[in-house]
Structure 1
Amino acid sequence: MIAIFQKHIGKTLISISLMGVFSLIILRKCNPPPQDINLAEITFTKEGTASIFNANGKLLKVISIEIAETPAETQVGLMYREHMEPLQGMLFIFNQEEPRYFYMKNTIIPLDIIYLDKDLKVVSFHQNTTPMDESSLPSEVPAQYVLEINAGLMEKWGIKKGSYISFSRD
């Protein structure tokens, strides 16, 4: 009787484990993009160039940027994208400096989120964010711009508070 019970428990545990894996797959499928977003059209579109400097003015990196400034562009950001090249990023432009709150909902790739003040100086950041996490990632102080790059690049390139960017549109 105990052997039969143990065999049944073993099958049950395997079934529960498989259900967990399938649940994660289904969760992603059940959290699709809004109907007005065509995933086939979500590719990086270079709209400008950003130069990133340390606090002393030394050029750290030059990257291609996509610009998000309309409410729709800002809301979607880098959601649903499966890849971004290392020398690419998204620059969010807002009308005024105020506390900002970003999250990783529907964002598949891990990011470094960099908050910049009205003068484009780094004032706070979140490194190595967790994909698909809906936790709030607030700026520590008011920000007017936000730069998103692939996770780990802030540290690799030496970006810190006090670093700054300049950008131009194509």
Structure 2
Amino acid sequence: MSVMRTAMALGVGLIAMGLLGQGPALAAGAAASAGHMVSSGVPDGQDDSAVPSTVPSMTDTGPADDTITAAQPVLPMAPLTITSSAPANRHGRTAAQMHHFKVELALTERQQEVGEMWRRSIPPQGGMLFIWKKPQHTAMWMRNTLVPLDILFIGRDRRIKGIEEKAVPMSQAIISNPGESMAVLELPAGTAARANLRVGDLVDCNALPPAQNPVPAGMELSGQ
């Protein structure tokens, strides 16, 4: 997958639609596993109907994703935990469940540009975390990505805002999520279903910025 700015192909096949008219938005997370992320670069007030659903990766500052023909080396890694609530038991109580991963960190433009392109496998508890410089509207595709993925959009409060399960390898279909994301987490396909991950689950990783507008303590499992 590839991340792009207005003129930069990153690595995760995302199209970062974010913050139109406010300059190119770096879709950091998109470049990793899911395909191709770009800033749409359409000024406010301009008709964007002519913008193609798949954006050519011609760049001024880096190689187009079509020229990336090999996977990048394994990136620096960090532990990541997703905390979710189990289904209520017969007493109507829920219990927190913690799911542990060790993920690669796509932090630089080049790392995000290449992302998980051409990777032939991802460890069961592995994945890649893309962190944007600031929250933004995000979309992506699976161009040059050989393995199916579960794609999780993470909000500024560190909670999951959307999940795309079993994204299809090499597809150029656009994958997006309403609202702004602070990061995108890519996991092996099937992980979300197996771990019962849901919108609202809390993502914890030291590489993420501090949570903004966090849910007050004691309300995490109440759905409030």
Which range, TM-score by smaller chain? 0.7 to 0.9
2:171 corresponds, among 133, 136, 145, to: 133
Q: How many pairs does the alignment contain?
A: 136
Matching residue's letter, 1:107:
T
1:115 corresponds, among 145, 153, 168, to: 153
The residue number in structure 2 matching 1:168 is: 206
- Tell me how far 1:70 sits from its aligned partner: 1.7
Structure richer in helix, relative to its length: 1
**Distance in 2 separating the partners of 1:95 and 1:42:** 22
Aligned CA distance change for structure 1 residues 57 and 45 (closer, same or farther; 3 Å): farther
The residue number in structure 2 matching 1:42 is: 72
Aligned partners of 1:124 and 1:141 also within 8 Å: no
TM-score (norm 1): 0.72
**Distance in 1 separating the partners of 2:145 and 2:159:** 25
Q: Equivalent residue of 1:140, what SS?
A: strand
* Percent identical residues: 23
| Cα displacement string for residues 38-85 of structure 1 (whole angstroms, at most 9, x for unaligned residues) | 73x634345201011115782331110101122222222111100011
Larger gyration radius, structure 1 or structure 2: 1
1:105 corresponds, among 143, 146, 161, to: 143
Two-structure CA RMSD over aligned residues (Å): 2.2
TM-score (norm 2): 0.56
The residue number in structure 1 matching 2:134 is: 96
Matching residue's letter, 2:171:
D
**Distance in 1 separating the partners of 2:79 and 2:196:** 19
The residue number in structure 1 matching 2:82 is: 52
Segments of structure 1 that go 5 or more residues without pairing to the other structure are 1-32
Aligned partners of 1:98 and 1:142 also within 8 Å: yes
**Distance in 1 separating the partners of 2:76 and 2:108:** 16
Aligned CA distance change for structure 1 residues 42 and 75 (closer, same or farther; 3 Å): closer
